[in-house]
Amino acid sequence: MLFNSFVFLFAFLPAALLIHWLVERFKPEWRLPVLLALSLLFYSYWDWRFAPLLVGSIVVNWLIAQAFTRSGRDVLIPLAIAVNLLVLGFFKYFNFFADFVDVIPGIRAPHFDIALPLGISFFTFHHIMYLTDLRAGKAPRYDLVRYGLYIAFFPQVLAGPLVRWSEIMHQFDERPYQRRDAEERFSRGLMLLVIGLAKKVFLGDQLAEYTNPIFAAAAAGQALDMGEALQGALGFTFQVYFDFSGYTDMALGLGLLFGIVLPQNFDVPYRATSLADLWRRWHMTLSRFLRDYLYIPLGGSRRGLAVQLGALLATMTLGGLWHGAGWNFLVWGALQGIGLIIIVLWRKAGLSMPSLLGWFLTFTFFALTLVIFRAETLAVAGNFYRALLGFGADGFTMKWRALAVGAAIAMIGPTAWTFVHTLPPRRWIAALFAILFLVVLFKIGDDANYEFIYFQF
């Protein structure tokens, strides 16, 4: 059930809001079980066969958490985390690692046609965050319904943001429609939903039409000219931003509609003046997860320069592999790690850089490495780089209008969250958002809906 689909906008969402309001109004003690049931129904709509996996992971991890709090046996938490990672590895990486085994002469590893359960990476990481903090004495024990809702809350279960238990659990006990700012929250949630839809439909999907044919031609072995390669590289750079930040805006807006404030995930990343700054602004919840649950446990910056650089490279390489089972993701992550290592060494040497030059180098590096991220193989990426260097086909063919609009909005404008929270309560503003929503609906009805990019991760 896509957020940008009629079945969600005109069936599931209105019904869920009505049921949630009635329960919150007349049976508030049922609110959390109903929200959990709605979330599981939303998840099951994609493929009911994956619902038992989500439910099973919730129940098993909750039982292990209960056993740990009762017995205090430290081995339970690492065991649970290992099992979570093994399940993720089986569904997401089994065939990838089987290809490594096939390289050994005389050995043929089995390969399975395994469908990747939607959201498995995200709900696995939610389990890991809670269990790790539980073992460290930071997280309390919760009942099964609250824990299940933390894992499965439908606005964020498929593609984030990654929400720490401490950011959301206390909100479950509130009466959201009894708050003094309930109407304001609800209206700003609607605005965020409309803005996210507009970013996805008018920018992300439009840029996909700029980008997909070029990557398809490169994958087919066709030589690209420099303009086509530049269009494909820049097109995907802005497409992935508007696609994922649009989803995040919708998730944050939906959260507000149900009385939950989810953490922000983007902070105008394409205005960053260094790669480290970009990763503090891009997919912020994943960056914090990698920092707190991987980089710091690997040594971080407290055990000397060599350990710090090794931890950076390992963290970003694994972060790249998290996005998918492919060499392109592995190489892309390693390149991000190398870029961050260069920044650390640059700063250790006491060197500085003008902000404008830092922005240009950061954006160029990120856009060029995203070619590897988007390309299905390293050979396809090589096809792009040859064309960008002038060794492709003759000519310079480039569509630029959508790129220019995307660049202006991504680099100049504020985040959607900041924008809607600075708008005053005016009827004409509500009318403009209603008109924008109608235009979005006409666009959805006219065009094929693209799945969100991060659903595949």
* CA separation for the pair 402, 191 (Å, rounded): 23
Are the C-beta atoms of residues 413 and 364 closer than 8 Å to each other? no
Model pLDDT, residue 92 = 85
- CA 149 from centroid of its chain's CA atoms: 19
Find tokens 């990557």 and name the residue. 215
DSSP 387-411: HHTT-SSSS-----HHHHHHHHHHH
> Per-residue pLDDT tens for 383-394?
999 999 999 888
Task: Return the ∠ at Cα 214 (arms to 200 and 97), rounded to 5°.
Answer: 85
Q: Exposed, middle or buried by CB within 10 Å (0-12, 13-18, 19+), for 382? A: middle
* CA separation for the pair 31, 48 (Å, rounded): 23
Provide the strand spans (E) within 138-294: none
Q: Is the pTM of this model over 0.75?
A: yes
Model pLDDT, residue 393 = 87
CB-CB neighbours of 260 under 10 Å: 23
Res 365 pLDDT > 70: yes
> Per-residue pLDDT tens for 287-323?
999 999 999 999 988 889 999 999 999 999 999 998 8
Res 457 pLDDT > 70: no
Q: Exposed, middle or buried by CB within 10 Å (0-12, 13-18, 19+), for 419? A: middle
Model pLDDT, residue 405 = 93
pLDDT band at 452; cut points 50, 70, 90: confident
Res 448 pLDDT > 60: no
List the chain domain ranges: 6-178, 183-449
Res 63 pLDDT > 70: yes
> Per-residue pLDDT tens for 392-441?
888 898 888 989 999 999 999 899 999 999 999 899 999 999 999 999 98
Model pLDDT, residue 99 = 67
Model pLDDT, residue 324 = 84
Q: Which amino acid is at 181?
A: D
Mean pLDDT of 154-183: 92
> Per-residue pLDDT tens for 180-226?
999 999 999 999 999 999 999 999 999 999 999 999 999 998 999 99
Between 144-152 and 31-46, two packed helices, what is the crossing angle to 10 degrees? 40
pLDDT band at 113; cut points 50, 70, 90: confident
Q: Residues with catalytic annotation?
A: 323
Average predicted confidence (pLDDT) for the chain: 91
* CA separation for the pair 384, 213 (Å, rounded): 13
Among candidate residues 200, 192, 249, 181, the one with its CA nearest the CA of residue 420: 192
pLDDT band at 65; cut points 50, 70, 90: very high
Model pLDDT, residue 296 = 94
* CA separation for the pair 259, 179 (Å, rounded): 9
Are the C-beta atoms of residues 444 and 201 closer than 8 Å to each other? yes
Mean pLDDT of 70-81: 92
